[in-house]
Amino acid sequence: MKRSLLQRTLCVAGAAAAATTTLALAAPAAHAVPVPVVVAAGGSDTTQDVMGDILAGANGTTVTYNGNQYTVTARNIPAYPLSAVSVPGDANCPTTSWTKDPLAPSGSTTPTKGISPFGSGAGRDYLNFEENTAPAGEKGCIDIARSSSGKRTTGTTNGTDGAQFEYFAYGLDAVSWASTSLKAPSTLTLAQIQGIYNCSITNWDQVGGTSGPIVPYLPQPGSGTRSFFISAFLGGVTPSASCVPSSKEIEENQGQTVAAADIDKAILPYSAGLWDYQQSNKANPTIDKRNGAKLGGYTTGAGSPVKANPAQWVAGDNQYELATPALVSFLGLPASYAVVSEVNVKTATPGFNANTDYNGIRYIYNVINKAAPTAVYESAKALVGFDTVGGAGAFKSPLCNGDNAGSIQSFGLATLDTSNPNSLNPTASTCRKV
């Protein structure tokens, strides 16, 4: 995916700032001897491609954390691999061939070595399994859980986080709705989205579209996009099985899995960043999985309404990009269109306010586990994390000092800068520890 002139300009500036930061880091200890370690990531479908690119760049490099050096073999395991993915072994996990979950899209109930974690929830469940259940020598098979949704409650079972999980946000995405139907309108209100997903609204003409039935779809259980959509747009209420049966639960961000009979009826949650990336690669059917699904906009409450789509067309580059403040200014659009902003990210209660907030803006995360073996934790932290201790001289991984800004943007997502409006671990980092 090509980047716009604005993105390329920001990338150059970010890379220059990152280079300055890198030079400021302390040199590795002279006595440090690199330890070989395999770092594998699994989980979210939304972020698997961008993390695949980032980890490919890290493969074979030597990283330093806490005075310890590690020579990294990096592997990214797809959420639903079409063929087996072999990950070499190390002291913390034997050589493993990872295959797709045979129970997808519903997902396996128990994390199992060799079954790829299918979605954000499954990736984090695997980290929790390693902390609490996995035998010795298998506590580092998944070292980084890709996640497109935030923290869960702490516990020891599926659906909960380990006591020492660390979440590092490294970019922004937007979740909206999309439809494969030509009868759908261009925008919906929060009340209309909720009405569709509780089946009190069943026809497109009830929401400003052309007459025709609506069939709501959801991503598969365990999907970060699913849990985020339910939280952000449905008030935390999961649709009933009578409204959205399991047969309408499909792999996230894929219009091509909508049933043929529902093409002119379906509505489904969609990552705007991934939609952008797929649209920009529409000539490649292995990337573009939209099946004609168009991304819809969202209108906030009546007080001071914002009617905007989280993706805006950039004519000079012939592609859509996330509607960040920088892009909206660059395009000369009203400031109210700049909905993909950290100020719209909600990380805690009271959460979303339909009258004032543009719902659907989220961080994307990598999750690591401090309870993992030292080599697992430190090498993963050196790749995707940062430390706040030490002010401007604090440790920052390449992902958190701006080095990987180009990769993040190339996959349709928005980068973070060092301004940190949500005051999460203030430090000169392009990540947030949430």
Judge whether residue 352 has pLDDT over 60. yes
427: left (phi over 0), alpha (psi -120 to 50) or beta: beta
Question: Of 7-11, 31-35, 215-219, which gets the smallest average pLDDT?
Answer: 7-11
Average pLDDT on 268-291 reads: 96
Judge whether residue 356 has pLDDT over 80. no
Question: What are the φ/ψ torsions at residue 259 (nearest 5 degrees)?
Answer: -60, 145
pLDDT value of residue 109: 76
Average pLDDT on 124-149 reads: 96
Following CA atoms 72, 76, 383, 22 in sequence, which dihedral angle do they give, to the nearest 10 degrees?
A: 90
Distances (CA, A) of 19 to 15, 22, 39, 50: 6, 5, 24, 21
Average pLDDT on 71-100 reads: 97
* CATH 3.40.190.10-classified regions of the chain: 174-361
Q: Where are the extended beta strands (E) located within 180-239?
A: 187-189, 215-216, 218-219
Token pair listed for 153:
């409650």
How far apart, in whole angstroms, are the C-alpha atoms of residue 309 and residue 331?
A: 14
- Which are the contacts of 320, defined by CB distance < 8 A and separation ≥ 6? 275, 276, 279, 280, 295, 311, 312, 313, 314
How far apart, in whole angstroms, are the C-alpha atoms of residue 233 and residue 350?
A: 14
Token pair listed for 414:
């928005």
pLDDT value of residue 263: 97
- Which are the contacts of 14, defined by CB distance < 8 A and separation ≥ 6? 402, 405, 415, 417, 430
Model confidence at 349, pLDDT cuts 50, 70, 90, reads low
pLDDT value of residue 108: 74
Closest CA to 363 of 164, 79, 160, 146: 146
The model's pLDDT over 186-207, given as tens digits with 9 standing for 90+, comes to 999 999 999 999 999 999 999 9
pLDDT value of residue 421: 87
pLDDT value of residue 174: 96
Closest CA to 9 of 364, 405, 382: 405
Judge whether residue 306 has pLDDT over 50. yes
How far apart, in whole angstroms, are the C-alpha atoms of residue 227 and residue 349?
A: 15
Closest CA to 276 of 139, 413, 79: 413
The model's pLDDT over 358-398, given as tens digits with 9 standing for 90+, comes to 889 999 999 999 999 999 999 999 999 999 876 666 899 99
CATH superfamily of 174-361: Periplasmic binding protein-like II (3.40.190.10)
How far apart, in whole angstroms, are the C-alpha atoms of residue 385 and residue 259?
A: 40
- Burial code (b: 16+ CB inside 10 Å, e: under 16) for 146-183 equals bbbbbebeeeeebebbbeebbbbbbbbbbbbbbbbbeb
pLDDT value of residue 351: 67
State percent of the chain over pLDDT 90: 76
Mean pLDDT over each residue of the chain, to the nearest integer? 89
pLDDT value of residue 275: 97
Judge whether residue 28 has pLDDT over 50. no
